């Protein structure tokens, strides 16, 4: 606001009384809060942050001793942005990230909820996730979808701990006051029965073919349960001699085979290869991203601060923060997911490249 000459005392007193009376009526004059409505650029509350696997893993093992998945409902270590309220379930932007782990022999019972979810497997192999009657055995690097309102549960039938990164659009659904949740209970069972063969969704929808006698229930969600690490990584390396993206190197986006869009309507996910000595150009955009280091090491400059990362680390880049990435001591593979589909759906996605 422009500076003005001081007001006569009586006018100032009248204004103060007027504003106070309005406030008691739950009315705020826009001229006192202009900055909340009109701002030249987003004022982003979330901050860049990194959670290191070497710090999380010991806490995970301690958690395994101290609390069962039944007691916890889901044993998830929620990664909450330091700038947000601890009850917000908000990691960055409109997305949540958390580390879930199952010790050998443990299960997490079936439930469903309106938020969309996915998982990226960090460590271990042999535990399953079941979604709507189909079980998939999860292995390190797999990307598993659990779309809105589908029954899902997990179990570890292997002899090693399993850990994965859960991603959900929880902050968005909460913002919309549209979060519903239900525990499974059918004939005394708390876990849904297995009703489909292993790889059922892959055979139906994941091979460039489709069964002609059925229509997908919802074309806006991916019918694929598991995008396997071997196949994704194989494509990444097959395309390694391309120029790729100046901002991300060789980057592939996971897609819904039914419409070519993001597997979940609210969350995009990517796998990217930063080749040896690759250093990307700087840019920024209005989507917020959670990164997980799938392989190798490197660093990112985020809003002017350098973050060095190693395999297993998880870090976030908030909306409109300038960022660039590089590999260190060889190649690196990053998994990432963002709220970009939400911004794009309503025309709020904006991207800017540094001058020069
Ligand atoms: C959830 O249902 C799962 O089903 C994981 O595995 C993480 C975080 C917040 C709310 C619900 C799961 C979750 C979650």
H-helix or E-strand spanning residue 118: strand 117-123
Six-digit token string for 31: 């001229």
**Percentage of the chain surpassing pLDDT 90?**
90
pLDDT of the residue at 3: 57
Mean pLDDT computed over every residue of the chain: 95
Q: Cα–Cα distance between 190 and 183 in angstroms, integer?
A: 8
- Whether the predicted pLDDT of 69 surpasses 90: no
Distance 96 CA to ligand 1 centre (A): 10
pLDDT of the residue at 70: 85
Burial of 131 (0-12, 13-18, 19+ CB in 10 A): buried
pLDDT of the residue at 356: 58
Provide the 3-class DSSP secondary structure of residue 85: coil
- Whether the predicted pLDDT of 2 surpasses 80: no
Domain boundaries in the chain? 49-211+220-353
Q: Cα–Cα distance between 235 and 13 in angstroms, integer?
A: 70
Would you say the CB of residue 98 lies under 6 angstroms from ligand 1? yes
Mark 137-167 as b/e (b = at least 16 C-beta within 10 Å). Answer: ebbbbbbbbbbbbbbbbbbbebeebbbbbbb
Six-digit token string for 349: 């996605």
For 230-242, what is each residue's pLDDT tens digit? 999 999 999 999 9
Distance 351 CA to ligand 1 centre (A): 31
Q: For residue 43, what are the contacts with CB-CB under 8 A and spacing of at least 6? A: none
pTM exceeds 0.85, yes or no: yes
- Whether the predicted pLDDT of 325 surpasses 60: yes
**Percentage of the chain surpassing pLDDT 70?**
98
CATH placement of domain 49-211+220-353: 2.60.120.10
Would you say the CB of residue 170 lies under 6 angstroms from ligand 1? yes
Distance 279 CA to ligand 1 centre (A): 35
For 142-178, what is each residue's pLDDT tens digit? 999 999 999 999 999 999 999 999 999 999 999 999 9
How far from chain centre, in Å, is Cα 172?
11
pLDDT of the residue at 1: 46
From 89, 98, 118, 132, mutation site for ligand 1 pocket: most ligand atoms within 8 A of C-beta: 98
Which residue's C-alpha comes closest to atom 5 of ligand 1? 166
The answer to whether the beta carbons of residues 270 and 280 sit under 8 Å apart is: no
Query: Which spans in 224-323 are helix H?
Result: 229-238
Q: For residue 62, what are the contacts with CB-CB under 8 A and spacing of at least 6? A: none
Distance 3 CA to ligand 1 centre (A): 51
Which residue's C-alpha comes closest to atom 14 of ligand 1? 74
Residues in the chain: 356
Dihedral (Cα; 86, 92, 93, 94), 10-degree rounding: -70
For 193-228, what is each residue's pLDDT tens digit? 999 999 999 999 999 999 999 999 899 999 999 999
Would you say the CB of residue 302 lies under 6 angstroms from ligand 1? no
7-32: average pLDDT: 94
Burial of 322 (0-12, 13-18, 19+ CB in 10 A): middle
Would you say the CB of residue 76 lies under 6 angstroms from ligand 1? yes
């Amino acid at each position: 606001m422009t500076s003005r000459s001081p007001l006569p005392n009586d006018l100032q007193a009248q204004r103060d009384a007027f504003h106070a009376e309005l406030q008691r009526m739950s009315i705020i004059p826009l001229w006192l809060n202009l900055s909340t409505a009109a701002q030249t650029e987003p004022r982003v509350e979330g901050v860049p942050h990194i959670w290191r696997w070497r710090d999380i893993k010991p806490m995970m093992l301690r958690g395994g001793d101290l609390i069962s998945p039944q007691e916890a409902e889901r044993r998830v270590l929620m990664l909450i942005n330091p700038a947000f309220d601890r009850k917000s379930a908000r990691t960055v932007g409109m997305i949540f990230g958390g580390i879930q782990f199952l010790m050998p022999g443990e299960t997490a019972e079936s439930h469903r909820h309106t938020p969309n979810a996915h998982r990226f497997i960090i460590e271990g192999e042999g535990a399953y996730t079941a979604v709507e009657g189909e079980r998939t055995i999860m292995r390190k690097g797999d990307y598993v979808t659990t779309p809105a309102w589908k029954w899902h549960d997990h179990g570890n039938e292997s002899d090693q701990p399993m850990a994965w990164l859960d991603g959900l659009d929880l902050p968005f659904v909460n913002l919309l006051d549209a979060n519903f949740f239900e525990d499974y209970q059918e004939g005394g069972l708390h876990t849904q029965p297995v009703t489909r063969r292993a790889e059922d969704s892959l055979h139906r929808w994941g091979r460039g073919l489709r069964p002609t006698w059925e229509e997908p229930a919802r074309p806006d969600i991916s019918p694929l349960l598991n995008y396997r690490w071997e196949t994704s990584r194989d494509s990444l390396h097959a395309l390694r001699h391309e120029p790729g993206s100046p901002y991300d190197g060789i980057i592939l986006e996971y897609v819904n085979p039914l419409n070519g869009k993001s597997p979940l309507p609210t969350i995009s996910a990517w796998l990217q290869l930063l080749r040896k000595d690759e250093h990307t150009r700087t840019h920024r955009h209005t989507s917020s991203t959670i990164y997980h280091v799938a392989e190798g090491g490197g660093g990112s400059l985020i809003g002017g601060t350098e973050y060095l990362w190693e395999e297993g680390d998880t870090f976030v880049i908030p909306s409109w923060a300038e960022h660039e990435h590089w590999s260190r001591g060889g190649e690196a593979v990053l998994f990432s997911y963002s709220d970009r589909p939400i911004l794009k759906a309503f025309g709020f996605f904006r991207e800017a490249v540094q001058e020069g």
